[in-house]
A and B are shown apart, each in its own frame.
Chain A
Amino acid sequence: MLHTILFLIFGGICVAGALNFLLQRHPVNSALSLIVVMGSLALLFLLLGAEFVAAVQVIVYAGAVMVLFVFVIMLLNAGEEERTRGNKVALSLGVPGLVVFFGLMCWTLSAAHSQLGRLQIGDYYVPTTDLGIALFREFLLPFEVTSVLILIAIMGAVVLARREQQ
């Protein structure tokens, strides 16, 4: 019962924030509603027993990444987006494709509804220790490769954002 109520509240906030993100014209408003979506997703992660993921979601996503976005929006002084025609092909193929994708997804999930089973609050809880053991034993190679990726991304960002010296 409690799980249902909490899921409906935070899922509703998620969907409302995402719709607001879609409908707002100003990039700052979109960014702030995306932060709302990420915050309520962190609470849904807590409901699923993933407390460390929830903390990282708040710190990395809602904190670092979105601050970077808001910073760039303010640096470039981005105003309300202007209405331009956009690409005809993208809209005429993309929107029906999206509707078909979403309909198929819902149809598949409702067909498999009974086999998927149910989740209970507190049924599965991951201590951070288990996560660390999995990350540094089973997934050690991907972890190291990811650190190289981050290093390359940092260097790429610095090179791209540098002002050309005359």
Chain B
Amino acid sequence: MIPLSWYLILGAILFAIGVAAFLVKRNIITIFMSIELMLNAVNLTFVAFASHWHQVSGQVFVFFVMVVAAAEAAVGLAIVLAVFRTRETLNVDYVNLLKL
């Protein structure tokens, strides 16, 4: 029997680490992965609240978040491939122009 707020604080910690990684990391793929970490933290909060209020809709929302994350990963990694093909680098600091 543990308080609900423990789960919420764990979710907040994971989200904060995701934001920190997003700010600190310089590799474009790692930045994408930190977005996935933030989405996972939100999923944990959704499931904890679903369990607290005995509502199934919280868990259904997790599926939608997962679908959006999968779509985002597919499109994002395709963009990363295209960027690498033209720039030959993965460092976001060297990708600062829209045109070639």
Name A residues whose Cβ lies closer than 8 Å to a Cβ of B.
Answer: 3-4, 7, 11, 14-15, 18-19, 21-22, 27, 30-31, 34, 37-38, 41, 44-45, 48-50, 52-53, 56-57, 60-61, 64-65, 68-69, 72-73, 75-76, 78, 81-87, 90-91, 94-95, 98, 101-102, 105-106, 109-110, 112-113, 116-121, 123-124, 126, 130-131, 134-135, 138-139, 142, 146, 149-150, 152-154, 156-158, 160-161, 163
Contacts and interface: CB of A to CB of B under 8 A. Distances in A.
B98 interface: no
B23 A82 contact: no
20 contacts: A3-B2, A14-B14, A15-B13, A18-B14, A18-B18, A37-B37, A48-B7, A60-B66, A68-B77, A69-B33, A81-B91, A84-B94, A98-B19, A113-B3, A117-B4, A118-B3, A153-B75, A156-B75, A158-B78, A163-B85
Contact of A160 (B37, B51, B71, B78): B78
A107 B6 CA distance: 13
Nearest to B90: A78
Interface residues of B, number: 69
Contacts, number: 232
Given A37-B40, A126-B50, 13 more contacts: A30-B25, A31-B33, A48-B50, A60-B66, A65-B73, A69-B33, A76-B90, A84-B26, A86-B26, A102-B16, A116-B8, A118-B1, A156-B75
A65 B70 contact: yes
Contact of B36 (A65, A85, A113, A134): A65
Nearest to B76: A157
Interface majority SS on A: helix, strand, loop or mixed? helix
Contacts of A56: 63, 66
Contacts of A121: 1
A140 B82 CA distance: 35
B72 to A, nearest CB: 8
Contacts of B32: 69
Contacts of A78: 27, 29, 90
A45 B60 CA distance: 13
Given A90-B23, A153-B75, A64 B70 contact: yes
A64 B79 CA distance: 18
Given A69-B32, A76-B80, A112-B5, A119 B48 contact: yes
